[in-house]
Structure 1
Amino acid sequence: MGRVIAIANQKGGVGKTTTAINLSACLAEVGKKVLVIDVDPQGNTTSGLGIDKNSLDNTVYELLLEECTIKESIVKTDIKNLHVMPSNVNLAGAEIELLGINEKEYILRNEVDWVKDDYDYILIDCPPSLNMLTVNAMTTANTVLVPIQCEYYALEGLSQLIHTIDLVKERLNPSLNIEGVVFTMYDARTNLSLQVVENVKKNLEQTVYKTIIPRNIRLAEAPSHGLPINIYDPKSAGTESYRMLAKEVIEKKKEV
């Protein structure tokens, strides 16, 4: 049965989408069957994996409104072993359209149950807010992976996110746990990056991944080409980091 990991942080620009794209591609590269679910209305994970988000009939939006089945909404990418459940700007309206629907927090989970056995990993890219889409992701997930940018305000909002995860665990999904924290946009030239890492490790009782994702120009360029970093530039520092993170994630699954 597939391990479902929600990638969440209500702060924008912390590397959620970059992590969803590149971690999934690096897991697929070592032979794991991977599904990425894009529940961010910006649809950047969808386009970052080479899919034209504006030419799709079936997306997460149609799935949540029960206008298509999960198998109809899954798209194959050009990358072996990697499938995507895409999204686009239509998803922004889902919150309002789901008002009044019973058990709306479980719509995604109920659908994902149909395909869970087809994949080793299912990664969910959450929007940068704590809304109904994020709650749906967390009720579906086994764990939450939290990317944190190495910057001054890194810890701000993190306690709110952990509180939300605890609430979902208490009321909606008792088996939900925090997968761990992964540091992104690390700049070895600044003392600040080092201070942030030390500060978070000191203040957080969560698992912190050993892999730290560097600030890397090739990582920033790759999405505009619709390619994950391991295909865009297989020898870059960004590729090396995400391969190491994929290895850690796989090791962690073995421990569970």
Structure 2
Amino acid sequence: MNKTRRIGIYNNKGGVAKTTSVINIAYAFAKKGKRVLVVDCDNQENCFSFFFSNQSTKEVFDTEYDGILHTTWQKYISMDVATCNNDYDYILFDLPPALSDEVKQIIQHLDEVYVPTMLGEFEIQGLKKVTDEINNQGTKLGGIFVTMFQAKNDKELIEEFRTVLKNRLMNTVIPFSTTVRESQKAGLPIEAYFLKRNVPQIGTSWKIVNAYNSLADEILREVEA
């Protein structure tokens, strides 16, 4: 890979697991030996709070995880771009659920944007507005991925989404899991939470971990092709 890739996770609708996805994609990337900077662009700073550490070098903060550092958008824009390109393989941006001028500015700065979405009757209409805006800013749509999928309720809807979105809908589907809230409360990515609790890698528990690992692989295949 010749340069740092700047990847945004964005949807103008809240509650679609943007921050959860950023945290767990960053963890999956780091496991593969990638050096990752996570940039929290939301004023609520949920992602920044999740990774918070007192150890910092001016604009960038360490985390408990090798290969992952984090900062905020305001600190990031004061950094030297050349330094970022030398220090990180990937910069992941957790964008707020808004379509402000600042969000448009951030999207323009990115190489790709990936859009998490829940399944629902109104979501497809909303996705068009999101993808059109990404295109308007001259940034590549990396793909759309489904979160909080429940097979018994969403089987027909996901087929409808695939029909409408075609190859823009990614293969990986993130299942619904009650563990997400537990892991966030513990301040851990889901896989780290399972490892700490010695959760056996059998049954349905690890499905969400495997899904985020699969999503990370799918993104890497796309951006490193």
Q: Normalising to structure 1: TM-score of the pair?
A: 0.76
Q: Which residue of 2 aligns with 1:98?
A: none
Distance in structure 1 (CA, Å) of the matches to 2:174 and 2:59? 31
Q: Report whether the alignment pairs 1:86 with 2:72.
A: yes
Q: Report whether the alignment pairs 1:226 with 2:195.
A: no
Aligned mate of 1:7, from 9, 20, 23: 9
- Unpaired runs of 5+ residues, structure 2, are 196-200
Distance in structure 2 (CA, Å) of the matches to 1:4 and 1:31? 17
Q: How far off its partner does 1:150 sit?
A: 2.0
**1:64-79 superposed matches below 5 A:** 72-79=58-65
Q: Which residue of 1 aligns with 2:135?
A: 166
- Unpaired runs of 5+ residues, structure 1, are 59-70, 92-106, 170-175
Q: How far off its partner does 1:126 sit?
A: 0.2
Q: Report whether the alignment pairs 1:246 with 2:207.
A: no
Distance in structure 1 (CA, Å) of the matches to 2:16 and 2:134? 18
Q: Report whether the alignment pairs 1:179 with 2:148.
A: no
Q: How far off its partner does 1:159 sit?
A: 1.2
Distance in structure 2 (CA, Å) of the matches to 1:35 and 1:151? 32
Distance in structure 2 (CA, Å) of the matches to 1:125 and 1:2? 17
Q: Report whether the alignment pairs 1:217 with 2:202.
A: no
Identity %: 29
Q: How far off its partner does 1:136 sit?
A: 2.7
Aligned mate of 1:126, from 95, 110, 124: 95
Q: How far off its partner does 1:13 sit?
A: 0.3
Question: Compared with structure 1, are the counterparts of its residues 7 and 113 closer, same or farther at alpha carbon in structure 2 (3 Å cutoff)?
Answer: farther
Q: How far off its partner does 1:113 sit?
A: 4.7
Distance in structure 2 (CA, Å) of the matches to 1:177 and 1:156? 20
Distance in structure 2 (CA, Å) of the matches to 1:225 and 1:186? 23
SS at match of 2:70: strand
Q: Is the 8 A contact 2:59 2:79 kept in 1?
A: no
Amino acid across the alignment from 1:238: I
Amino acid across the alignment from 1:150: L
**1:181-200 superposed matches below 5 A:** 181-190=144-153, 193-200=154-161
Distance in structure 2 (CA, Å) of the matches to 1:157 and 1:114? 37
| Off by >6 Å, runs of 4+ in structure 1 | none
Amino acid across the alignment from 1:253: V
Q: How far off its partner does 1:214 sit?
A: 0.3
User: How many residues are aligned here?
Assistant: 213
Q: Which residue of 2 aligns with 1:145?
A: 114
Distance in structure 1 (CA, Å) of the matches to 2:182 and 2:101? 31
Could you say what the CA RMSD is over the residues aligned between the two structures, in angstroms?
Answer: 2.3
Distance in structure 2 (CA, Å) of the matches to 1:118 and 1:253? 18
Q: Is the 8 A contact 2:47 2:94 kept in 1?
A: yes
Distance in structure 2 (CA, Å) of the matches to 1:138 and 1:74? 21
Write out per-residue CA displacement over residues 10-42 of structure 1, whole angstroms, 9 at most, x where no aligned residue.
000011111111101111111111111000111
Distance in structure 2 (CA, Å) of the matches to 1:224 and 1:13? 17
Distance in structure 2 (CA, Å) of the matches to 1:109 and 1:201? 41
Question: Compared with structure 1, are the counterparts of its residues 186 and 78 closer, same or farther at alpha carbon in structure 2 (3 Å cutoff)?
Answer: same
Question: Compared with structure 1, are the counterparts of its residues 13 and 76 closer, same or farther at alpha carbon in structure 2 (3 Å cutoff)?
Answer: same
Q: Which residue of 1 aligns with 2:125?
A: 156
SS at match of 2:146: strand
Q: Normalising to structure 2: TM-score of the pair?
A: 0.86
